[in-house]
Chains A and B, each alone.
Chain A
């Protein structure tokens, strides 16, 4: 349970400045919270509500709409195995079963060491490269049982640290905020306030 740390408060305010209305920053800030703690804590949602001046209930309603926001701690690596039709036809189900056996857990749960969570997901828009999986929303295409084993071993050994950061880290939130961007936000807000 934690609120934003000091550097993230600064970043949060920067993000809020990108939008004409502070409220519009709720989703980027939820990503930021998930990046900080690996999942979205209640305290973080309360903090977001304070920062953008809405109620906690409004933040909660928005956050829970999205599957990618987690409200309980999950593994450092979230492995999403697609079992939708295209992947299923070329072995998606078998791949999911293999992952479950390899890690010793069922889909929807987390390994005891807190490293892996497996999710059974619907189409992730990689049908031409089926069967596809994601690890922390980074794609792996045409996955076989062998390279899934290899992937898990590499993640365990920390060999993919550069490529796959821990769950929650999303590059998109950290886009540069130039002077021009910030000013646009403030000016637009001023217009809204005056109107």
Chain B
């Protein structure tokens, strides 16, 4: 600070005006600098009709519907309010006769070619064109000529249909595809009267975010296959909720008609998803409606699983938990309340071994590091990414980080063995190999250019499990290396499953991880294994260990929505209520607690996980003190972790942030040497669509899961002497499988990539979870 004697100086505070004074329809209004006139008018209470303008995308002035009058030096002038920034002293009028005439004229022209097939259009009833034709249109048309005709509708992807006759060419979908999703696979084609939105011939709009174009289409031109002709908008009831498909926790609106879920829409949360959803999160409501859902409890009668009454099943579970050694796996698919109730039951019964993850995520300690919010990550000067492909696993987080890089707010420094969706937006993408991440990170952070970049501002580390074929220790070691170099960096832990953070905060984590639990089970040291929505045979990296563990345990108790390979071997299977069938809260990867809503009646006799916990507790004469979601929430608020939920904070759109108790990263000693030149180091990661329940039981999505292939760099393939597209034998320390190999230069040298839990060959068969890294030998058959 200055060394001037400033004790006596009294300054009059200078008020700096930070807003712009404008007049809208005769009313004085203070607008934000940089704001567009269309938004300022709306804030001032004068809604201006619009079709192309969308607050989350750049304005283009395409539809001309938002014309208003602005006072200029030569009198009032008609301007497109979505392209006009506010200015000090601006005088705007939105309802004069000439504005009305202009808006009516534009609408008459937009309707000239519009088919007016509203009675058979899905959009009818919630259509901006229909609504604004009533509110701002001329009432009749002078157009008597033949309207434009196109084949209607045409599929532009597996999920989206396009009716070009209805399209008003507002550029919203094409801008979204380019600006927001980064998948410019639809464009305006042809010109003049023939202008139409289309894809390249025979190349579909294969974007993970295609459903958003349907939501933002201001007419019925784009419709989504899963919702077409399912309901009238006025028959839909809706509640705001949070998507729990992955851990991003996008805010949604879930809609139903006649007690059936029919549609999810993105809800605009500044902090999280900006209104966007990925297609998996948007369309997997189908799995809730699936015919294959479990509807009643099942018990093993020695040869088969047979339906039984809840009382019989619960009694059997209580009996199993009363004696012997038990462990709990899972709990990250449910609500915070579900996890909290089960954690209290486990406390009461002295069940020590619990893990909400399946050794496919991050050590719990990572969640206790100084945590960054999504907003902080997307505004950091440098974003260091040591994670799986976010576009595949946490798609909307990918959108936020891509936006940060595209708008030049942030520079992304990525470490990865296989190119990811973010690679092309990265300032620097550093190739690594499993096992060598920490040393690569240390070397890279030592480079002068990188040091300079890190010194420019705040740093956020986005950290997750890049490969399931390597020990999590390598991720921890890489993270430690970053934190040693940049001690002030905040951490955003990314995990696949929806409520991992909430389940850990509720107490479903312990000192034993899934690997230890399943190893104990396989060794016959466990009598009972409770699976809370967990399917270790599908989701645990080492399938062999998971199978052995499930077979060795006498009582496997599964609480799930579907029969899985793991539940098929259970002694008791309890049907669980699904998303949309129960109330509660969820915690996303930032530690943000938001509400999840019940919209439809729970399927069959299925129950929420917490109800099952309470039932079992009472049978064991344990009083958990819970009789409703609210009673659990009261108990949660009494804990220090969930205290911020007090006063209904979790029921707001942005929710509340919770902090886990601070922890230090465990010291890890994982080492991995370089592999022999005959071997390739295995990288196994997930894709958006896989064999998981939410894809497999959603008819519209199931076909999108691609068959597994072994992807290898073309130079390595040439070295091994194998042609792309042929079958090879891939041999690890665990197994040997026959698989199709494909040359792919997005895979680094010396590395081979398989998709986890994909149709086709099972990558989990090749993985030894106790190995530091897994190498495979690739040979021609």
Interface of A toward B, CB cutoff 8 Å = 42, 45-46, 54-62, 64-67
Contact = CB atoms under 8 A, between A and B. Distances in A.
A73 B291 CA distance: 51
B191 A55 contact: no
B201 A61 contact: no
B479 to A, nearest CB: 30
Contact of B189 (A54, A55, A61, A67): A61
B185 A55 contact: yes
A112 B183 CA distance: 42
Contacts of B189: 60-61, 64-65
A60 B191 contact: no
A64 B203 contact: no
Contact of A42 (B186, B190, B201): B201
Contacts of A58: 184, 187
B199 interface: yes
Given A56-B200, A56-B203, A57-B203, A64 B184 contact: no
Given A42-B201, A45-B200, A57 B190 contact: no
Given A42-B201, A45-B200, A57 B185 contact: yes
A61 B185 CA distance: 10
Nearest to A59: B200
Contact of B200 (A57, A65, A66, A67): A57
A61 B173 CA distance: 14
Contacts of A55: 183-185, 200
B188 interface: yes
Contact of B191 (A45, A57, A65): A65
Interface in B685-734: none
26 contacts: A45-B200, A46-B200, A54-B184, A55-B183, A55-B184, A55-B200, A56-B200, A57-B185, A57-B187, A57-B200, A57-B203, A58-B184, A58-B187, A59-B200, A60-B187, A60-B189, A60-B199, A60-B200, A60-B201, A61-B187, A61-B188, A61-B189, A64-B190, A65-B189, A65-B191, A67-B191
Nearest to B424: A53
Interface residues of B, number: 14
Nearest to B203: A56
Contacts of B188: 61, 65
| Best-surrounded residue of B187, B191, B198, B201 (most CB of chain A within 10 A) | B187
Main secondary structure of the interface of B (DSSP, over half): loop
A75 to B, nearest CB: 22
Contacts of B199: 57, 60
A59 B188 CA distance: 11
A32 B202 CA distance: 23
Nearest to A66: B191
Contacts of B191: 64-67
Given A42-B201, A57-B185, A60-B198, 4 more contacts: A57-B184, A57-B186, A58-B187, A62-B187
A49 to B, nearest CB: 8
A97 to B, nearest CB: 26
A93 B122 CA distance: 47
A65 B184 contact: no
A106 B188 CA distance: 30
Interface in B166-208: 183-191, 198-201, 203
A62 to B, nearest CB: 8
A172 to B, nearest CB: 21
B679 to A, nearest CB: 32
Interface string B524-563: 0000000000000000000000000000000000000000
Contacts of B201: 42, 60
A65 B198 CA distance: 12
A60 B185 CA distance: 10
A57 to B, nearest CB: 5
Contacts of A65: 188-191
A56 B186 CA distance: 9
Nearest to B191: A65
Nearest to B188: A61
A46 B203 CA distance: 10
Contacts of A60: 187, 189, 198-201
A192 to B, nearest CB: 12
Nearest to A71: B201
Contacts of B186: 57
Nearest to B174: A61
Which residue, A54, A56, A61, A67, has most C-beta atoms of chain B within 10 A? A61
Contacts of A57: 184-187, 199-200, 203
A64 B185 CA distance: 15
Interface string B83-100: 000000000000000000
Nearest to B197: A61
Contacts of B187: 57-58, 60-62
A22 to B, nearest CB: 14
Nearest to A62: B187
Contacts of A67: 191
A87 B148 CA distance: 29
A53 to B, nearest CB: 9
The 10 A-B pairs with the shortest beta carbon distances in the complex, nearest first, are A61-B187, A56-B200, A64-B189, A60-B200, A57-B200, A57-B187, A57-B185, A65-B191, A55-B184, A64-B190
Kindly name the residue among A57, A66, A67 whose own CB sees the greatest number of chain B CB atoms within 10 A: A57
B640 to A, nearest CB: 48
Contacts of A45: 200
A96 to B, nearest CB: 21
Nearest to B177: A57
A64 B194 CA distance: 10
Interface centre among A60, A62, A66 (most CB of B within 10 A): A60
B412 to A, nearest CB: 15
A55 B174 CA distance: 13
Contacts of B190: 64-65
Which of B183, B190, B200, B203 counts the most chain A CB atoms within 10 A?
A: B200
A192 B164 CA distance: 37
A7 B201 CA distance: 27
B606 to A, nearest CB: 44
Contacts of A59: 200
Contacts of A46: 200
B1 to A, nearest CB: 36
A47 to B, nearest CB: 13
A150 B414 CA distance: 68
A60 B205 CA distance: 14
A66 B188 CA distance: 12
A62 B184 CA distance: 13
B160 to A, nearest CB: 14
B436 to A, nearest CB: 29
A54 B182 CA distance: 11
B423 to A, nearest CB: 13
A124 to B, nearest CB: 17
A50 to B, nearest CB: 13
Contacts of B185: 55, 57
B634 to A, nearest CB: 53
A64 B189 CA distance: 6
Interface in B391-428: none
Nearest to A65: B191
A66 B186 CA distance: 18
A65 B183 CA distance: 21
B12 to A, nearest CB: 42
Contacts of B184: 54-55, 57-58
Nearest to B192: A65
A45 B189 CA distance: 14
Nearest to A45: B200
A164 B168 CA distance: 42
A61 B189 CA distance: 4
Nearest to B189: A64
A59 B199 CA distance: 10
A67 B188 CA distance: 15
Contacts of A64: 189-191
A45 B203 CA distance: 12
Nearest to A64: B189
Nearest to B183: A55
A154 to B, nearest CB: 34
